[in-house]
């Protein structure tokens, strides 16, 4: 008997440990883990000497071909593959028309999900979606029973922007999710507070992006998180807080968390590596919502990651051109920036190289925990019988981030010029080598839509 591929000579990393060994892959699946001499012969043997062999990154928070990103699934997934990400979860927005790029109410939630599946046909990596409820309608509530048990068990809600929901309607969504065993995924900023403070900036002529963080303060994030997580707990729904950016919001989630069987949360790469001083340095390019916070908030993200009260590190990837971001007044800039290609190497550099996090912790935060949190039992693991989504990672290689290398349609990087230690050498998606030494080596369309199961958070 022979297998397709054996990756030998490296150090294998799981969420629990590191160990010397080899990995056998056949027909897209991991079929063996152990000493190389104990595994079958292979058509292709990958020498991973001096490298780490780990599960591919699972990024549960990306924007691709949606209202907040110009990337197609082809361009975003190429960036993902080069950055070691093998599965992404994007969004299907109720009411958003991809033809007109407007929220015109023309797509129901099931129709929006079908549309994403079609637009993702050229993806190089595997992909799923969160449903996003943006309208307060009885029909939208009824649609949850169709989508939650059938591959899309997580539903996003906003507390801000034109697509934000009232607390009353959000309560109704949580009730439905509790009955369906789904997950509420929450963008939490108090929209009314942010709107008032933004209008004050406009009146006072504070268009320089150094004033931007004051328009979306930490307490507005904490207030909205407190409202939302309380509703989730009272209705019995699972709650996942996205892009936690500050100590105050993290403390709200920690207080509600208990054993993690009902409440989980993430932070993002940029909130662990950049602070509000970046607005004086880069202007509007790093304009995210929530904004970059204080150095103390950066420290808080690591404290909560270490304590386990934040579970996941994502990217919140959004693709825009530099020209669209470079505006006179910050409020005319779109929110977000591209991170799929650089996020994992940058977070590794910050967390492992500079702060001494262990490799099992790294794998847990970017791979295993997001897979378990969002119902992907075949992902985020090196267990035999699961998908052969594997990254070969060189922990000692150093390079300088250059936006000229972007596969994303975005033509800038908020990490431009940063030297990072640690580089993705090879990326396998279901056993197929898709990225090798900085080059895409597989054809678009290899990725598959992943129907997720309703997750069990009690384990």
pLDDT digits (tens, 9 = 90+) for 58-76: 999 999 999 999 999 999 9
Distance CA 406, CA 403 (A): 5
Residue 417 has pLDDT above 90, yes or no: yes
| Tens of pLDDT, residues 279-325 | 999 999 999 999 999 999 999 999 999 999 999 999 999 999 999 99
Residue 143 has pLDDT above 80, yes or no: yes
pLDDT band at 459 (very low <50, low <70, confident <90, very high): confident
Structure tokens at 230: 């309380």
Distance CA 76, CA 319 (A): 8
Class assignment of domain 2-54+384-394+420-440?
A: mainly beta
Residue 457 has pLDDT above 80, yes or no: yes
> What integer is the mean pLDDT of 337-364?
98
Residue 426 has pLDDT above 90, yes or no: yes
Q: Indicate the pairing of strand 41-47 with strand 52-55.
A: unpaired
| Tens of pLDDT, residues 155-209 | 999 999 999 999 999 999 999 999 999 999 999 999 999 999 999 999 999 999 9
User: CATH topology for 56-373?
Assistant: TIM Barrel (3.20.20)
Spell out the domain ranges in the chain.
2-54+384-394+420-440, 56-373
Q: What percent of the chain has pLDDT over 70?
A: 100
Structure tokens at 225: 């998180």
> What integer is the mean pLDDT of 395-415?
98
Residue 15 has pLDDT above 90, yes or no: yes
pLDDT at 113: 98
The DSSP call for residue 122 is G
Question: Beta-carbon neighbour count of residue 124 at 10 Å?
Answer: 29
| Tens of pLDDT, residues 251-286 | 999 999 989 899 999 999 999 999 999 999 999 999
Residue 212 has pLDDT above 90, yes or no: yes
| Tens of pLDDT, residues 370-388 | 999 999 999 999 999 999 9
Distance CA 148, CA 141 (A): 11
- Indicate the average pLDDT of the chain: 97
Residue 19 has pLDDT above 90, yes or no: yes
pLDDT at 1: 76
Residue 144 has pLDDT above 80, yes or no: yes
Distance CA 54, CA 427 (A): 10
């Amino acid at each position: 008997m022979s297998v397709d591929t054996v990756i030998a000579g490296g150090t294998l990393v799981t969420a629990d440990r590191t160990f010397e060994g080899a990995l056998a892959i056949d027909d897209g699946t991991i079929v063996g883990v152990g000493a190389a001499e104990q595994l079958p012969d292979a058509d292709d043997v990958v020498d991973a000497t001096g490298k780490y062999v780990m599960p591919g990154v699972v990024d549960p928070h990306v924007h691709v071909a949606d209202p907040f990103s110009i990337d197609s699934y082809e361009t975003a997934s190429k960036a993902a593959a080069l950055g070691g990400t093998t599965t992404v979860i994007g969004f299907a927005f109720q009411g958003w028309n991809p033809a007109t790029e407007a929220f015109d109410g023309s797509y129901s939630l099931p129709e929006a999900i079908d549309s994403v599946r079609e637009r993702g046909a050229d993806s190089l990596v595997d992909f799923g979606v969160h449903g996003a409820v943006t309208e307060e309608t009885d029909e939208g509530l009824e649609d949850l029973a169709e989508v939650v048990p059938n591959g899309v068990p997580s539903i996003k809600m906003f507390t801000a922007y034109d697509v934000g929901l009232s607390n009353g309607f959000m309560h109704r969504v949580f009730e439905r999710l509790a009955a369906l065993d789904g997950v509420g995924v929450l963008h939490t900023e108090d929209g009314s507070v942010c709107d008032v403070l933004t209008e004050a900036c406009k009146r006072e002529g504070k268009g320089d992006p150094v004033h931007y963080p004051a328009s979306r303060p930490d307490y507005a994030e904490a207030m909205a998180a407190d409202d939302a997580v309380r509703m989730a707990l009272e209705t019995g729904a699972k709650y996942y807080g996205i892009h936690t950016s500050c100590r105050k919001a993290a403390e709200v989630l920690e207080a509600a968390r208990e054993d993690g069987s009902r409440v989980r949360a993430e932070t993002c790469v940029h909130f662990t590596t950049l602070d509000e001083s970046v607005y004086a340095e880069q202007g509007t390019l790093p304009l995210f919502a929530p904004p970059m916070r204080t150095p103390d908030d950066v420290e808080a993200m690591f404290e909560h990651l270490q304590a386990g009260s934040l579970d996941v590190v994502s990217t919140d990837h959004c693709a825009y051109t530099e020209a669209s971001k470079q505006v006179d007044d910050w409020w005319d800039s779109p929110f977000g920036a591209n991170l799929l290609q650089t996020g994992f190497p940058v977070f590794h550099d910050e967390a492992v190289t500079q702060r001494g996090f262990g490799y099992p912790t790294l794998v847990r935060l970017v791979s295993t925990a997001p897979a378990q949190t969002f119902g992907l039992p075949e992902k985020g693991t090196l267990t035999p019988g699961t998908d052969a989504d594997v990254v070969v990672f060189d922990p000692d290689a150093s390079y300088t981030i250059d936006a000229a290398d972007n596969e994303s349609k975005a033509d800038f990087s908020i990490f431009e010029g940063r030297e990072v230690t640690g580089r993705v050498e090879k990326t396998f998606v279901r056993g197929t080598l898709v990225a090798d030494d900085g080059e895409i080596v597989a054809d678009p369309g290899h990725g598959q839509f992943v129907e997720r199961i309703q997750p069990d958070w009690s384990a």
